[in-house]
């Protein structure tokens, strides 16, 4: 896997580095990215899940809060989260999360390509600082990484969980989780070239591919079109109630 990946030239490497930096500013270090991205991921995962599981299970993927608590316990450093499960459901969810990771359902997210770059820069900075400041930098580094991992993987974990409850094997549920949204570990042999030329090219390509693949299923197409039509009608009626000449 990845053996046929093309190596980009010097100019494209500069473009790739620049796009990684800009991508990090737009995503990981942007305060207004987290919530909209979570909503977008859940909506996309719901559409893709309809083709793989029952509508009821797929609908539960939409809940933006689902999975957040489990990932918080298992991802953030101990001094930032309470790792002790409080209820039987917490214990069950923690076991499911461990299975989710072992089955390969976990990936990075939209800003994954910038995580290691940011960590390297922070580590280099930390090496030049005294011990107290170094601890603070590492603390901040772990916090940023943990928060973004929670947001990016909570949707995949929820998809995995609902898939398992729908009767899927761990491998089937892991594949559904990875296909629920953009998978940064899939980029093709010329992925670096595309990412150097076009910011967020991989998410754009994968998002369109997954949506079109899901829409081939008549059940998915009917549900999506019905939802869009209903939403458009309701918005139109609301606008008319405010302005009859709308």
Does residue 182 contact residue 202 with C-beta atoms inside 8 Å? yes
What is the per-residue pLDDT across 45-69, written as a single tens digit (0 to 9) for each?
898 898 889 989 998 998 888 888 8
What is the per-residue pLDDT across 149-195, written as a single tens digit (0 to 9) for each?
777 788 999 999 999 999 999 999 999 998 888 777 777 677 777 77
Model confidence, pTM: 0.67
Report how far residue 246's alpha carbon sits from residue 244's, in angstroms, rounded to the nearest whole number: 5
Name the DSSP class of 7: P
Residue bearing tokens 């458009």? 232
Kindly indicate the confidence band of residue 235, based on its pLDDT and cuts at 50, 70 and 90: very high
Long-range contacts, stretch 218-225, CB < 8 angstroms, 24+ apart? 219/50, 219/51, 220/47, 220/50, 220/51, 223/50, 223/55, 224/47
């Amino acid at each position: 896997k990845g053996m046929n990946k093309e190596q980009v030239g010097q100019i494209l490497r500069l473009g790739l580095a620049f796009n990684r930096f800009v991508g990090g500013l737009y995503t990981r270090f942007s305060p207004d990215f987290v919530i909209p991205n979570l909503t977008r991921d859940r909506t996309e995962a719901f559409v893709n899940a309809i083709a793989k599981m029952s509508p009821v299970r797929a609908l539960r993927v939409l809940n933006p809060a689902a999975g957040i608590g489990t990932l918080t316990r298992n991802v953030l450093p101990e001094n930032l989260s309470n790792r002790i499960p409080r209820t039987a459901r917490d214990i069950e969810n923690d076991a499911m999360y461990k299975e989710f990771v072992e089955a390969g359902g976990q990936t990075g997210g939209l800003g994954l390509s910038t995580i290691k770059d940011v960590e390297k820069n922070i580590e280099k900075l930390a090496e030049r600082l005294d011990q107290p400041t170094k601890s603070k930098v590492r603390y901040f580094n772990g916090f940023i990484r943990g928060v973004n991992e929670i947001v990016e993987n909570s949707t995949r974990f929820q998809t995995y969980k609902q898939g398992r409850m729908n009767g899927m094997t761990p491998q089937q549920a892991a594949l559904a989780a990875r296909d629920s949204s953009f998978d940064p570990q899939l980029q093709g042999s010329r992925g670096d070239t595309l990412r150097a030329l076009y910011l967020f090219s991989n998410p754009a390509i994968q998002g369109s591919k997954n949506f079109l693949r899901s829409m081939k299923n008549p059940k998915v197409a009917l549900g999506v079109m019905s939802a869009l039509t209903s939403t458009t009608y309701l918005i139109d009626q609301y606008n008319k109630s405010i302005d009859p000449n709308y």
